[in-house]
Amino acid sequence: MAGGLKEVRERIKSVVNTQQITKAMKMVSAAKLRKAQGAIVQMRPYAERLNRMLSNILSNLDGGGTTSFGKAREVKHALVVVMTSNRGLCGAFNTNICKEAVALINEKYGRQRRDGNLTVLFIGKKGYDYFRRRYRDIKFTTDYIPVYDTPEYETVSAVARHLMDAFSSGQYDAADVVYGRFKNAATQIPTAEQWLPVPKTDAFSVTSGGAKQKKADYIFEPDQQQLLETLVPSILQLQFHKCLLDTQASEHGARMTAMDKATENAEELLKTLRINYNKARQEAITTELGEIVGGAAALEG
């Protein structure tokens, strides 16, 4: 019985130590989440409005202006960018993003995958680890690009410019980004978006009342082509950066939620272990008392 008590004591000590770690990780993630959430909440409306404006502009170009980033062509070579975190312990966050990427590949780029013309690029180590173990037939550009932990605009935009140059040169005919869209600390939505070529809007949009209205018409000053060459790359780089910030905020929210749940589970486990320990201790004391009484009775007899 003493051996059993010792084993339960060691388990209690181990669970207490683990609970302290999960509490600390939750607090760290909460602090990081506040910063990451502030960054994405401030950027998202700006980025989404610019993205809508870009789609509108490219949908209503006249003959005087062109840009390679808005020209759809036959997709012979495709690129999928998968954004995940570098670390785990955040629940199913990374796995859900990878599953979304696999669904996109199977549904949209199945032919390119069979022909060996699909390339997957990873930002974040967990996505690379997931695909490397399961999908050896897919071509990877490299292990993963180590910019996830340094999400400054200058660093991320350099990666975006490299991919945009590859698209302009014809190395890729389409590029999609799969990332975690941040909703709140408890909800992260795996999202796949077409990045290149820029998706165009229809000539008319439908209002909430069902009526059609013409898209906005833009007046370019000083020169349409000059503005396109400057505006379009800037918006695309900003959109790429927004996806990474979204993923980072989602990671911290997912880890904070996972560590909070782990702390609660540890508390429940501790209650059970302490009850079992007390029961075992009472049984040991009762057994010892019985042996003492029996020994005393034998001596008296």
Question: What's the CA gap between 279 and 153, in Å, rounded?
Answer: 59
pLDDT band at 286 (very low <50, low <70, confident <90, very high): confident
Phi, psi dihedrals of residue 110, rounded to the nearest 5°: -65, -40
Q: What is the mean pLDDT of the chain?
A: 87
Q: Who wins on pLDDT, 42 or 219? A: 42
Q: What is the CA radius of gyration of the chain?
A: 29
Give the β-pairing of 204-206 and 212-214: antiparallel
16-32 pLDDT per residue, tens: 999 999 999 999 999 99
Pick from 280, 273, 232, 256: which is nearest to 51 by CA?
A: 232
| Catalytic entry in 90, 102, 123, 164 | 90
202-215 pLDDT per residue, tens: 544 444 445 555 55
Pick from 179, 157, 170, 290: which is nearest to 233 by CA?
A: 157
SS3 145: coil
Assess contact for 184 and 253: CB atoms under 8 A: yes
pLDDT band at 193 (very low <50, low <70, confident <90, very high): very high
Q: Which residues contact 142 (CB under 8 A, 6 or more apart)?
A: 121, 122
- Per-residue pLDDT, averaged over 259-286, amounts to 91
- Per-residue pLDDT, averaged over 163-174, amounts to 94
- Per-residue pLDDT, averaged over 77-83, amounts to 96
Q: How many contiguous H segments (helices) and E segments (strands) does the chain have?
A: 6, 7
109-144 pLDDT per residue, tens: 999 999 999 999 999 999 999 999 998 888 887 778
Phi, psi dihedrals of residue 239, rounded to the nearest 5°: -65, -40
Percent of the chain at pLDDT above 90?
A: 61
Q: Token pair for residue 186? A: 């408890």
Q: Token pair for residue 197? A: 């070529």
- Per-residue pLDDT, averaged over 54-74, amounts to 76
pLDDT band at 217 (very low <50, low <70, confident <90, very high): low
pLDDT given at position 205:
46
pLDDT given at position 3:
57
Per-residue pLDDT for 37 more than 90?
Answer: yes
Per-residue pLDDT for 55 more than 90?
Answer: no
Q: Who wins on pLDDT, 72 or 160? A: 160
Superfamily of domain 22-200+217-258: ATP synthase, F1 complex, gamma subunit (3.40.1380.10)
| Residue 243 annotated to the active site | no
Q: What is the pTM of this model?
A: 0.85
Kindly report the number of other CB atoms within 10 A of residue 241's CB atom.
Answer: 22
- Per-residue pLDDT, averaged over 179-206, amounts to 83
Cα→Cα distances 175→23, 139, 146, 266, Å? 40, 14, 20, 44
Q: Which residues contact 60 (CB under 8 A, 6 or more apart)?
A: 203, 215, 217, 218
